[in-house]
Structure 1
Amino acid sequence: MFIEKLLTISNIKKKYLLSDFDKKFIERARKKAKNIFLKKNKKIAIIVGPCSIHNFNEAILYAKKLKELQDEVGDKFFLVMRVYFEKARSKNSWKGFVNDPFLDGSNDIKKGIELTRKLLIEITKLNIPIACEILDINIFNYFDDLITWGFIGARTVESQSHRQLASSMPFVVGFKNPTSGDISKAKNAVDISKNQNTFIKTDENSKLSIFKSQGNLYSHIVLRGSDRESNYKMLENIENYKVMVDASHGNSNKDYKKQIDVFNYVISKTNNQNLIGIMLESNLEERNQKLDFLNLRFGISVTDECLSFLETKKIILSSYKKSSNNTYI
């Protein structure tokens, strides 16, 4: 059933316009990410932030806190904020800020697209690089100019459309292993993404068009564990692929506190030439809450449980202080 037309991608980008200054910041951030991928320096990327974004002002507050932390540890760690505005769901539930920004089942996608773009621009103005999951390809095109690090999730890693789109992206893209734990699926996705692909997607005028990508050489795998067990220690056995570890999900057995153990283990392996980063699920406050839009508590996840920002800051600063006195360039 048809409901209404959306503004074109071009019109949304003009309505919520990136300044030249912000464009240059994103260019620099993408270059930093690529340098980490290429091991041109000893920095480790830390992709950190809420499991999902559900509140505009809370996301901005988190970004401000992350900026303060980045200023403290930026010579050794490259902090990128998780701004997950879509959520892949295995059952019928809330699908994310962009799909239902008011969390009330109204599913005002039109408003969600505008609020999401506005949010991403505001975070960019704080000089915080942004990471997100590329889930709905049609929706993602409204935000592709704002992203420093993209991810293809465990439920879409085998999708040909997502692999092809990733091959055309001008930024680093990580492919998570599927929930089965089969790492070969993520490796196959990386291989396809690194090569040229010809495919159909919407252009800036929201018209279906044929695109030919040049291949994305900055594609890597993400170890996220499986439904049965963790796999983060496998990073030491993987060759010929750059690796990031997701400290949550299967690697924490969905116990948010266990992210700390995974984080400490991965940080101890930074001499591994294939390791480029780690991902943490963190919010202003710890744990999670049921989605009751009339009774939401401040700063608490409405999806997966998260570490508090205070705990997140503590473990990052601890690792920073334990590292060598040599400044990473």
Structure 2
Amino acid sequence: MQQNAKFIRKLPIPMDIKKEFPVTEEVAKVREARVEEMRAILDGCDSRLMLIIGPCSADREDSVMDYVCRLVPLQEKVKDKILIVPRIYTNKPRTNGSGYKGMLHQPDPSKKPDMLEGIIAIRRLHTRAVQETGFACADEMLYPENYRYLSDILGYVAVGARSVENQQHRLVASGIDVPVGMKNPTGGDLSVMMNSIYAAMGDHTFLYRGWEVETAGNPYAHAIMRGYVNEKGDSRPNYHYEDLVQLHKLYAERGIKNPACIVDCNHANSGKQYLEQIRIAKEVLHSKRHSNDINALVKGLMIESYIEDGNQKISEGTYGKSITDACLGWEKSEKLVLELADLL
């Protein structure tokens, strides 16, 4: 009988990868200090804006590190108003299953998938980012069982629109010790996202990587508003003033005392028109100025940005240009960050 699944090789467990590629005590302290700053913003103790910014997908170590290093002097210029959290998204959800699935799958986008090399590549990249820039970075938890390969180095975790209703994602998020952002689902039902936040805040016992695991709950689980797609397949935004008022009401109905939200300026909010991110980011800050509730609710923004404007096919090979969703180039990104700081 023909087998549909071919088991290629047994991969090392996270503990073994961490031993082989360890994080130094100094790097661990730098990462923890940055995470504490994020927690303070989400708690409302720090009034700065958290800006999660970077490529749609981390496709090459050299260009991603180039990009993250460029953020260092920019962070210094806006440090009193904005806390920058670089996006280093190393695994990508694909709506229909086809296309580039991220560095975890293909550390070299032009070659065939190699999961072992991918695990090593993403750990090396995230470690370099903290070590060389002092940033603690964000990644998406596409596969809950793979989170442990990076659990000691990540600063922020996002649960995507296609994963947010999944039980395993919610329960694993409840045991993560850094902020976790829950995106609204692609269909736009905010109750799904709120259920996910509520679940991640709670304590649970469940099966994970062959272990019976008990979690204490994550008080820093929060919403990410990313727009949605209606029944006709059209992108619809949910970053407007009225949407944020509605989200505030949903938090109040759940009895969550410290509501928090990040607004994703791309994806369905922009209709994947990447230049619209500039306008959307400024509109969200305008909404914050006109309502104390929204000002307290919206803790930050998410922006897709890289070295070059737009996107490309893998075969084109332009350095620092996205091979997934289109991104703002560096010049526009730098200008936007400085403008946002001036508006705060």
Q: Same fold (TM over 0.5)?
A: yes
* CA positional deviation for 1:104: 3.2
* Matching residue of 2:138: 131
SS of 2:321 mapped into structure 1: coil
Structure 2 unaligned spans of 5+: 1-5, 230-234, 252-258, 290-294
Q: How many residues align?
A: 316
* Matching residue of 1:315: 336
Please point out which of 147, 160, 183 is paired with 1:153.
160
Question: Is the 1:44–1:270 contact (alpha carbons within 8 Å) kept by the matching residues of 2?
Answer: no
Deviations 1:16-37 (A, max 9, x none): 1111111011111111111000
Matched, 1:190 2:206: no
* Matching residue of 1:327: none
Deviations 1:210-266 (A, max 9, x none): 111101111111110012310101123322331110000011011000011111111
Within 5 Å, give how 1:1-329 maps onto structure 2.
1-91=6-96, 92-125=98-131, 126-202=133-209, 208-227=210-229, 228-233=235-240, 234-239=243-248, 240=251, 241-271=259-289, 272-292=295-315, 295-323=316-344
**Aligned partners of 1:173 and 1:190: how far apart in 2?**
9
Question: Is the 2:56–2:304 contact (alpha carbons within 8 Å) kept by the matching residues of 1?
Answer: yes
**Aligned partners of 1:268 and 1:169: how far apart in 2?**
33
Structure 1 unaligned spans of 5+: 203-207, 324-329
**Aligned partners of 1:115 and 1:41: how far apart in 2?**
34
* CA positional deviation for 1:267: 2.2
TM-score (norm 1): 0.94
**Aligned partners of 1:273 and 1:119: how far apart in 2?**
34
**Aligned partners of 2:181 and 2:342: how far apart in 1?**
28
**Aligned partners of 1:279 and 1:242: how far apart in 2?**
14
SS of 1:68 mapped into structure 2: helix
**Aligned partners of 1:322 and 1:133: how far apart in 2?**
29
SS of 2:19 mapped into structure 1: helix
Over the matched positions of the two proteins, sequence identity in percent amounts to 31
Deviations 1:123-157 (A, max 9, x none): 00110120111011222210111111111000000
Question: Is the 1:79–1:129 contact (alpha carbons within 8 Å) kept by the matching residues of 2?
Answer: no
* Matching residue of 2:292: none
Structure 1 runs of 4+ with >3 Å offset: none
SS of 1:210 mapped into structure 2: strand
* CA positional deviation for 1:105: 4.8
SS of 1:118 mapped into structure 2: helix
* CA positional deviation for 1:321: 2.5
**Aligned partners of 2:323 and 2:340: how far apart in 1?**
29
**Aligned partners of 2:286 and 2:333: how far apart in 1?**
17
Choose 98-107 or 142-151, whichever is displaced more: 98-107
Question: Is the 2:309–2:327 contact (alpha carbons within 8 Å) kept by the matching residues of 1?
Answer: yes
Question: Is the 1:99–1:107 contact (alpha carbons within 8 Å) kept by the matching residues of 2?
Answer: yes
SS of 1:144 mapped into structure 2: coil
More helix by percentage:
2
Amino acid at match of 1:164: L
